[in-house]
Structure 1
């Protein structure tokens, strides 16, 4: 094998370009966790937001069959649609960041709801899931949007916050309507 010296700087660059491109491409294919490490606060936000969304979706699916109130069912349908969309958005970021499997719904709360029907279901669903759940979610997403350290998670929280605030306002109206009819 004959080794030839590079005739010019350009030929040297061409010879190095392919291996450099391969190395950069390989780095881009590494799991996100190998590229950047999330802060404990950002990791906790991602887990809490995921669980809150899963709980909202599971509870709202129960509402469709367990509630006897048309307003509650309409609210539940909206929550399923919006929180499914939000969950997909957050899952994309979480996957890119190398986070493991998202936590599921709050099984204790879902268990309480499963045993209820009609007005009993509506009261617990409105109080614990719709109002309280969205109050906690607003606080969670507000905190991340203000003090999160990961740019993608911070941006996702900021984008989601208006929708979650709107959900809270809807939940409060639902609670007020329920109290007025009682």
Structure 2
């Protein structure tokens, strides 16, 4: 499946004319997979429909601008808050669904640390009249749905991969960028204070990931496991859905529009 973006439109999901022999298309995916990609596609549409946090339709400055908050500060607050909420939600899922005790221990640590960081960021943002998100971003919600659809050891590995290693690498990048660009004293201090904890989380996640790889390789192999045929088909669907979500993520990233740029009047998302 390919994802195309015509001028002035949202993302359009275009299935191939004919599926390859034995291949997988969007029409073959489990309904959960189709819903996940539609949600990620909706994120791209939202990017084109909603005004930038730094711009209002009326032309009046937003609250952050009135108190001298720059675009770098607003961007950091938004991205850091989204990442923190996604980590907490994924870790709560892990507490209820993980089968590996080490995964549960890691998840509890993530809940404790990221909840504390989320609260501190919110306090700083509210004190400076900066809007702060209270939920994960659209694409992160899609990944959370994909995680929730997994079970057993496959869930454990996906959590360690997506919200242990990958998510912390991305979040570390957000905080390193903030240290270099954000000039607001409280926000810069928050970024510097939190970064070492994020780096520690990444090291913990990499250790957890490495300890699980031999088992995961068997469970994601050719079927020489205890999983029945139906369960194996579900795992194949989830892998297909992961690829589709990754493509949708790339679309969302390409569709981010800089402040002041002209936005399309309409956007459409079709599956």
Counterpart of 1:88 in structure 2 is 119
Which one of 47, 71, 74 corresponds to residue 43 of structure 1? 74
Count of residues paired in the alignment? 152
CA distance in 2, matches of 1:101, 1:52: 12
From 91, 98, 104, the counterpart of 2:129: 98
Decide which of 137, 141, 144 is 2:178's aligned counterpart. Answer: 144
Specify the structure having the higher radius of gyration (Cα). 1
CA displacement 1:83-114 (0-9 Å, x = unmatched): 00000110011101212241412211111111
Moved over 2 A (4+): 32-35
Distance 1:87 1:133 in 2: 15
Contact preservation (8 Å) 1:67, 1:118: yes
Distance change >3 Å, CA 147–CA 34, structure 1 → 2: closer
Structure 1 unaligned spans of 5+: 1-31
The aligned counterpart of 2:191 is: 157
Q: CA deviation at 1:122?
A: 1.2
In the TM superposition, 1:126-137 aligns within 5 A as: 126-137=160-171
Superposition CA RMSD, Å: 1.7
State the distance in 2 between where 1:75 and 1:161 align.
Answer: 18
After TM superposition, the structure 1 = structure 2 runs for residues 103-122 of structure 1, keeping only pairs within 5 Å, are 103-105=134-136, 106-122=140-156
Alignment of 1:73 onto 2:87: no
Cα distance in structure 2, aligned partners of 1:65 and 1:170:
20
Instruction: Please give the alpha-carbon distance, in whole angstroms, between the structure 1 residues aligned to 2:145 and 2:214.
Output: 28
Q: Is the 8 A contact 2:78 2:132 kept in 1?
A: no
State the Cα distance separating 1:146 from its structure 2 match: 2.2
Contact kept in structure 1, 2:91 and 2:108, CA below 8 Å: yes
Which whole-Å CA distance do the structure 1 matches of 2:84 and 2:193 have between them? 15
The counterpart of 1:175, out of the listed 206, 209, 231, is 209
Structure 1: distance between partners of 2:135 and 2:193: 23
Conservation of the 8 A alpha-carbon contact between 2:72 and 2:181: no
> What is the CA distance between 1:179 and its match in structure 2?
1.4
